[in-house]
């Protein structure tokens, strides 16, 4: 039983994973549009679209 769970279930190593260009563009655009406002001890997140 131990041998069954100790083996990795991934076929490809993690370091071969490459994100798509559209995924990177989406994340960069989202991070540019996100605004975090600190007021006293509160944080407000606003998406500037």
pLDDT at res. 37: 92
pLDDT at position 8 over 90: no
pTM of the shown model? 0.49
SS3 10: coil
Say how far apart CA 49 and CA 31 lie, in whole Å.
Answer: 12
Count, in order, helices (H) and strands (E) of the chain: 2, 2
Structure tokens at 47: 């998406």
Counting residues of the chain whose pLDDT is more than 70, the rounded percentage is 67
Instruction: Single out the residue of 19, 49, 15, 18 nearest to residue 34, CA to CA.
Output: 49
pLDDT at res. 10: 61
Averaged pLDDT of the chain: 81
């Amino acid at each position: 039983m131990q041998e069954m769970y100790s083996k990795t279930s991934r076929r490809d190593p993690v370091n071969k994973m490459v994100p798509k260009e559209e995924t990177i563009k989406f994340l960069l655009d989202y991070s540019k549009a996100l605004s975090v406002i600190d007021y006293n001890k509160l944080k407000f997140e606003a998406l500037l679209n």
